[in-house]
Amino acid sequence: MTAMSRAGGHWAGNNVMQEDAKFSLPDEELVLLEQFYSALQFPDAVVLRRLATRIGALLIERTRGLRERESELARYKKMYERSSSLAKIGVWECDLATEALTWTDSVYDIFELPLRTPVTRELILSLYTDHSRAELDALRERAVREASGFTLDIEVRTAKGKPRWVRISADVECEQGRAVRLFGTKQDITYEKQLWEKMRLLAECDPLTGCANRGVFEKRLAAALIAKTCEERLAALVLLDVDGFKQVNDTLGHAAGDECLRQTARQLRDVFGPGSLVARIGGDEFGVLILGQHEAQRVEAQVADAVVRIRTPVKWSENVVSVSASIGFALTADSDAGPTKLFADADDALYAAKAAGRDTYRRYISGKRLRRPRTGRRAALA
């Protein structure tokens, strides 16, 4: 054999194989190929050698192309994994027949599960809050029934116990008109939610006291007067002025006055509880919306308690600062009035408390309204 020789388990032909591309054949096939090649006459051998050269070149070209595509695919895969990690987004799939889940690495990272941990739908649902789980089940059932997609933001607690927000986007794959697979993405949107919450607080809350601002107070007042459920319906409107606030500001400075306002806000939240809305509606003015079913005696007891608590001295630097509160309140049971009238009634009761010497409270009673001109910040309820 002059054209080809067997060496090291490979057939190497002249100009047929190159050093970077060798092809292995089983020993029995090599023997048959050697016998076949030896039986050829010279012209046949030349033709075969040329044919083998061409085939070899094509194989080398094809192999090189496959390697380049594999390299390109690996590069794209790496780019995808990096971008997914940066965006905190991953891809998931669920076989509806078996409920088997398939995740990309980023989804494991979102839920803080070790890579390749066997995941079941029961395990993952256990990480969702009850409310989020109920929402997801309803949307999933409808998506499968109607072969439609959905997007849902859910609250989860990761396998390590961290609270997170996850945005689920899903679509349905059908075969012969029947839903067989759910697929989509899951993205960690915790930072986005935190940013929106900060923006909401800036828009709705008083930055000094953490109470609702006047705009929120007015909206909630109007809504509570027409609420359909007892828990959301307004029982009473309370208005409060901090007595002595201006004197504290003038003698000890604004920082001391600010601490008095913060202390007042804390006392009001403690007295009226989480079921009520406490708002700072002016410089030294607060408003409280008492929601739910409350008897007049209970409301009055809470108001009286607020007067006592706000009287408690506040420590500021090396000083002890004392302020008090004048409070007026109106019960919705005493009137079917709208928000503007109810606000005016509570405001008149507050004026009566101030006229009585401050550091006290008064309740608005229909027919005994104290009339006075309204000016300044209390002129109208927007």
pLDDT digit string (tens) for 249-286?
Answer: 999 999 999 999 999 999 999 999 988 999 999 999 99
Assess whether pLDDT exceeds 90 at residue 345: yes
Res 256: pLDDT: 93
Q: Which residues contact 354 (CB under 8 A, 6 or more apart)?
A: 241, 326
Is the CA virtual torsion 364, 367, 370, 375 positive or negative? Answer: positive
First to last CA, the chain: 105
pLDDT band at 46 (very low <50, low <70, confident <90, very high): low
Q: What average pLDDT does the chain have? A: 83
Which of helix, strand or coil describes residue 181? strand
Q: Which of 317, 209, 229 is nearest to 269 (CA)?
A: 209
Indicate the DSSP class of residue 76.
H
Measured on CA atoms in the order 250, 253, 259, 261, is the torsion positive or negative?
positive
Q: Domain spans of the chain?
A: 4-81, 88-193, 205-378
- Placement of tokens 């609250």 in the chain: 155
The whole-number pLDDT of residue 70 equals: 75
Whether 304 contacts 283, CB under 8 Å: no
What is the CATH code for 88-193? 3.30.450.20
Which of the two residues, 75 and 29, has the higher pLDDT score?
Answer: 75
What pLDDT sits at residue 116? 86
Q: Do domains 88-193 and 205-378 have the same CATH topology?
A: no
Closest to 127 in 3D by CA, of 82, 90, 167, 160: 160
- The model's pTM is 0.61
CATH superfamily of the domain spanning 205-378: Reverse transcriptase/Diguanylate cyclase domain (3.30.70.270)
